Amino acid sequence: MATIDWRIRRLAQTVFTVWAVTTLSFVLVRLMPGNPMGAMVRQLEQQGVDPVRARQLVELRLTIDPNEPIPIAYVDYIVNVLSGNLGQSVYYAEPVTQILAQAMPWTLFVLSWSLFISFFIGIVAGALMAYWEGGKFDVGLTSWAILMGSIPYYVLAFLLLIFLAYRLNWFPTSGRAPTGVPAGFNWPFIKGIVHHATLPVLSMLVASGVASLGMRGNSIRVLGSDYLRVARLRGLSDTTISTQYIARNAVLPMYTSFLISIGEMFGGSVVLEQVFQYRGLGYYLLAATYQRDYPLMMGGFVLITVAVVLALLIADLTYGLVDPRAGGQNSDSY
């Protein structure tokens, strides 16, 4: 085991996860009692569609052929998914891949900003809390962080929507881009996008509360360590100590919680995009659930999972660059 490079193992694990999720979606659609495939065939037949034609339609939409035995249908399905064919949406009558591909950048836009801003705030606040530990600032900020941690992001989203959008009219109440402005690389459009994305990004900032508490704990631990005393005895400047000795060591363990946040935020995008009617991945996933549009729903589910898995893979592979001690190990070693 140990002889195999961890990067290869990590890659194998990613492939395994994607395979597991795809298989799960196949099992749910094809094998479960009362499964969507059977339901779709029956529904079409009831609408008076010729049984042969109905089965063809279902195959087109779900990329699973109802006539074939399960093992063959399964292999076909996997091949289809791998080649990017997720079937055809019933409600939108468009290929699932196409719908999701145009929604994806919007979700990534909101999520990446939420992640970076909330972790930046969390790290700075946590470091300050640790620096003034026990003081008024620390107590105040700790209480604030606890409160932030207790508020689900969607509750904050409601509050922002009610007060900043409906009451004060500072931000648009729904949508993802300004209407009547040509899409493209022009200032009004970019400004409009940022304007629409502000409230969703702000709602996700609740994550900064938990992050700041984690950072505070790490910093306090580093502050109590022996090498820091030695560094002070050596007469190193305060700047060197705080940036090279404290900040670096305290931030590194935050990486793991950063990784976990990626998955949680992707999941959270479903509720958030519903609240703000922001047409991203989560919005279409939810719309598909309401419409019982199974191809779009399963496609959205598979795609969100793949996106998260890839994000985690990239983050893990680059971890060695951030932490030289990890050399040949990934974030698991923490």
Residues that bind another protein (CB under 8 A): 1, 13-14, 16-17, 20-21, 25, 28-29, 32-36, 134, 146-147, 149-152, 154-155, 158-159, 161-162, 166, 173, 217, 220-221, 223-224, 260, 263-264, 266-268, 270-271, 274, 282, 285-286, 289-290, 297-298, 300-301, 304-305, 308-309, 312, 332
d(CA 107, CA 103): 7
Q: How far is the CB of 219 from another protein (least distance, A)?
A: 11
- Using the minimum distance from each CB to another protein, give the nearer residue, 85 or 274: 274
Q: How far is the CB of 282 from another protein (least distance, A)?
A: 8
Q: How far is the CB of 326 from another protein (least distance, A)?
A: 15
Q: How far is the CB of 41 from another protein (least distance, A)?
A: 16
- Using the minimum distance from each CB to another protein, give the nearer residue, 127 or 270: 270
Q: How far is the CB of 176 from another protein (least distance, A)?
A: 19
Hey, what long-range contacts does 269-273 have (CB within 8 A, 24 or more apart)?
Answer: 269/107, 269/110, 269/111, 271/153, 271/154, 271/157, 272/110, 272/153, 272/154, 272/157, 272/200, 272/203, 272/204, 273/107, 273/200
- Using the minimum distance from each CB to another protein, give the nearer residue, 51 or 304: 304
- Judged by phi (left if over 0) then psi (alpha if -120 to 50, else beta), residue 134 lies in left
d(CA 122, CA 189): 30
Cβ(181)–Cβ(92) below 8 Å: no
Cβ(273)–Cβ(280) below 8 Å: yes
Give the tokens for residue 159. Answer: 């509050």
- Using the minimum distance from each CB to another protein, give the nearer residue, 149 or 178: 149
Report the amino acid identity of residue 87.
G
Give the alpha-carbon dihedral of 137, 117, 302, 155, to 10 degrees: 50
Size of the chain, expressed as the number of residues it contains: 334
- Using the minimum distance from each CB to another protein, give the nearer residue, 104 or 151: 151
Q: How far is the CB of 270 from another protein (least distance, A)?
A: 6
- Using the minimum distance from each CB to another protein, give the nearer residue, 178 or 217: 217
